[in-house]
């Protein structure tokens, strides 16, 4: 059991941010691979490095240097989370989901999750964007295990519509309107950091997964627990293990994400502008 309660830690993080920044975001955008430069799209009001926030988990992965970027996307107040921490880095699950919970305390109402994934659905190709319509998270530790954080939500939260149907509809319509091809499907989170074996990928396909990755689903659970509206888009960066002859590498994933970045950026930006 921790000496410091989860909510106590969140309040400390919040106080630390509020000493420096008074911005109240409406939407939180968690930037996955490929969207690292999304902040170029916004009128930046303030930036805060994760390491400046007392108790905020700081990522160790190269290319995931973390900061919060507050600003306006046209008139919309948003905060971008540039860099996230992953369970495979060795953090407790409660630290992995701390940032998303903190965003609720900052005043946000909607979370837009983005990530890179491997395509499990044989109809998906590298570079495809996938609207996340549902998820499978039961291979990773549930982020709500432990004493319930009553201040945030209920002990047994409903998860029958994790990804908000209305927001999904907006993203779907935006893609159509902007001429951006958009797949849809179920995202499945594993712990990583190793990529899957071909047998695991076959198993995941049988289970109903369309894309596999190492983030997002636990953040979505914590966000829903706290009453945030959630949506997400995944950049399918490679076909999952065993679907091609090629071995997988982080470099290949990064390259595909960078290539998809312009369309990914456009879809996310135009969608957020259409959120109610």
Among 93, 116, 223, 241, which one carries the catalytic annotation? 116
Residue 195 contacts ligand HPA per CB under 6 A: yes
Please identify, using beta-carbon distances, which residue of 60 and 154 lies nearer to ligand HPA.
60
Instruction: Specify burial of residue 14 (Cβ count, 10 A radius: 0-12, 13-18, 19+).
Output: middle
Q: Would residue 206 show up in a list of annotated catalytic residues for this protein?
A: no
Q: Are 232 and 216 in contact (CB under 8 A)?
A: yes
Rounded Cα gap, residues 214 and 218, in angstroms: 10
Rounded Cα gap, residues 143 and 96, in angstroms: 8
Angle between the 6-20 and 98-106 helix axes, to the nearest 10 degrees? 60
Q: Would residue 64 show up in a list of annotated catalytic residues for this protein?
A: yes
CB-facing half-sphere around the CA of 98: CA atoms within 13 A = 27
Rounded Cα gap, residues 59 and 121, in angstroms: 30
Please identify, using beta-carbon distances, which residue of 95 and 196 lies nearer to ligand HPA.
196
Residue 170 contacts ligand HPA per CB under 6 A: no
Rounded Cα gap, residues 1 and 56, in angstroms: 19
Min separation Cβ 212 and ligand HPA, Å = 5
Residue 34 contacts ligand HPA per CB under 6 A: no
Min separation Cβ 193 and ligand HPA, Å = 9
Rounded Cα gap, residues 199 and 122, in angstroms: 15
Min separation Cβ 209 and ligand HPA, Å = 11
Please identify, using beta-carbon distances, which residue of 200 and 270 lies nearer to ligand HPA.
200
Q: Which listed residue (196, 210, 219, 270) binds ligand HPA by CB under 6 A?
A: 196
Shortest-Cβ-distance residue relative to ligand HPA: 118
* Segments of the chain assigned E as strands: 27-31, 43-49, 67-73, 76-82, 110-119, 128-136, 183-189, 211-213, 229-239
Please identify, using beta-carbon distances, which residue of 144 and 212 lies nearer to ligand HPA.
212
Min separation Cβ 60 and ligand HPA, Å = 17
Rounded Cα gap, residues 64 and 84, in angstroms: 7
Q: Which of the residues 210 through 269 are near ligand HPA (CB under 6 A)? A: 212-214, 237-238, 240, 248, 253
Please identify, using beta-carbon distances, which residue of 98 and 120 lies nearer to ligand HPA.
120
Which residues in this chain contact ligand HPA in the complex, by CB under 6 A?
116-118, 195-196, 212-214, 237-238, 240, 248, 253
Could you list the active site residues? 33, 64, 86, 88-89, 116, 214-215, 238, 250
């Amino acid at each position: 059991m921790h000496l410091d309660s989860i909510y106590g830690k969140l309040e400390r993080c919040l106080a630390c941010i509020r000493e420096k920044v008074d911005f109240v975001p409406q939407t939180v955008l968690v930037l996955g691979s490929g969207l690292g430069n999304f902040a170029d799209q916004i009128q930046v009001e303030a930036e805060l490095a994760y390491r400046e926030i007392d108790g905020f988990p700081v990522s160790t992965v190269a290319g995931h240097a973390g900061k919060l970027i507050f600003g306006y996307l046209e008139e919309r107040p948003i905060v971008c989370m540039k860099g996230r921490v992953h369970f495979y880095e060795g953090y407790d699950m409660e630290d992995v989901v701390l940032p998303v919970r903190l965003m609720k305390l900052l005043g946000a109402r909607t979370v837009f999750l983005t990530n890179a994934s491997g395509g499990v659905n044989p109809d998906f190709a590298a570079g495809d964007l996938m609207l996340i319509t549902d998820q499978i998270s039961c291979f990773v530790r549930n982020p709500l295990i432990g004493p319930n954080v009553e201040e945030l939500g209920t002990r047994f939260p409903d998860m029958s519509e994790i990804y908000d149907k209305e927001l999904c509809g907006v993203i779907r319509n935006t893609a159509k309107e902007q001429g951006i091809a958009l797949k849809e499907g179920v995202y499945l989170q594993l712990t990583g950091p190793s990529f899957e074996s071909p047998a695991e990928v076959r198993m995941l396909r049988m289970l109903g997964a369309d894309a596999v990755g190492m983030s997002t689903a636990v953040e979505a659970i914590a966000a829903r627990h706290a009453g945030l509206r959630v949506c997400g888009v995944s950049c399918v960066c490679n076909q999952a293990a065993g679907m091609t002859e090629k071995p997988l590498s982080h470099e290949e994933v990064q390259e595909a994400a960078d290539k998809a970045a312009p369309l990914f950026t456009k879809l996310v930006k135009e969608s957020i502008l259409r959120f109610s």
